[in-house]
Amino acid sequence: MRIRVRRTGGFAGIERSAEVDTSALPDAGEWQALADTVLTEGGVEGRGVPDGFAYEITVDGETIHCADPRLTDAQRALITRVLKEGA
């Protein structure tokens, strides 16, 4: 599975993105469960707070959008993992 996170916005407006291919990872099942939860929860329309981050999460071609401060626990966990692992 390919998971891509794109972060935009923030005070400086610097874009950051990362991608992880989980197919060869030993914890691929954990990634799958987290990604499934994020996709099931869906995204939100509109921007978050001024100078906050907006996110585009794509899992195997399916994309949702979400923004701070209205991230779910699963969205926040997946975003953090992808931006860390895919850096």
Q: Give kind and range of the element (H or E) at residue 36.
A: helix 28-41
pLDDT tens across 21-39, in order? 999 999 999 999 999 999 9
Task: Give dist(CA 3, CA 12) in Å, integer.
Answer: 25
Task: Give dist(CA 44, CA 65) in Å, integer.
Answer: 6
- What's the pLDDT at 5? 97
pLDDT band, very low/low/confident/very high, at 46 (cuts 50, 70, 90): low
Cut 0.85: pTM above it: yes
Task: Give dist(CA 72, CA 55) in Å, integer.
Answer: 12
